[in-house]
Amino acid sequence: MRLALGVSYNGQAYDGWQSQPSGRTVQDHLQAALARFAAQPVTTVCAGRTDAGVHGLMQVVHLDTPVQREDFSWVRGTNTFLPPDIAVQWAMPVPDAFHARNSAKARRYAYVLLESPVRPSVDAGRVGWVFRPLDEAAMREAASYLVGEHDFTSFRASSCQSPTPVKTLEPVRISRRGGYWRFEFQANAFLHHMIRNLMGCLVAVGQGSHPPQWMHEVLQARSRDAAAPTFSPDGLYFLGPLYEPHWGLPSQVPAYDWLP
């Protein structure tokens, strides 16, 4: 049986999603919990890997298992063996043709940024931070140059393993509530560190270090050296993948209502 799971996690304590020899990743903890519940080894495939310190509201994974359990049992049983900052949100059987990564038609992220003279405290590790005011109009104009299919080499980490730097980005949504900014990104796929590098450039424009047109110059340069430094992972949230409706999978979880 192929099973799909929706998983949420606070990434502060982990070395990212993907399994590593250290065992200090979200995937390592999830697979260990699943193995204890299923009483046999379990391997998962995810929709999108996240870096150290990045959070996930609805990571989607699939696994193949001969173990038969009710859907709610996979959720509650697995959560029994997970640390409090990782939780399975839902579980559903899916056809063998479903693949958590390859079946996704798009992926969504949000970056939450605190604009304040004082650093974060109660939300430390959960938001990025700037202490200088940001110009919303300038950032919107800068973001407009990114929309569509482009070569995003300038925003690609040197360790990126994607076979191509060409991705298709939807319009970036920028909103503000009090001192908190929210940037929403959706694309068919993302490069390693792509959003954090985009955020570095958007913040540079918002603070007046560069004009909005600079974003277009960075994009056209196709060189990582042309862009701003990689921004902090603290405020980055993987909202989850988007699938065709016929798979019948949830598109969001309750944590969406909490995120600013």
Name the β-bridge partners of 3.
Answer: 63, 93
The secondary structure of residue 46, as a DSSP letter, is E
Is 64 annotated as catalytic?
Answer: no
What interhelical angle do 214-221 and 194-206 show, nearest 10? 150
Angstrom distance (rounded) from CA 73 to CA 37:
9
**Which residue is catalytic, options 51, 85, 96, 151?**
51
Name the β-bridge partners of 60.
Answer: 6
* Amino acid (one-letter) located at 1: M
Three-state DSSP class for residue 20: coil
Q: Which of 203, 185, 195, 197 is nearest to 224 (CA)?
A: 197
Q: Which of 125, 110, 88, 160 is nearest to 11 (CA)?
A: 125
In sequence order, what are the residues at sequence separation of 6 or more whose Cβ sits closer than 8 angstroms to the Cβ of residue 212?
A: 138, 139, 141, 142, 145, 205
Angstrom distance (rounded) from CA 21 to CA 7:
22
Composition of the chain by helix, strand, coil, percent to 5: 25, 25, 45
* 169 and 155 Cβ atoms separated by less than 8 Å: no
Q: Which of 44, 26, 9, 47 is nearest to 188 (CA)?
A: 47
Q: Which positions are annotated as active-site residues?
A: 51
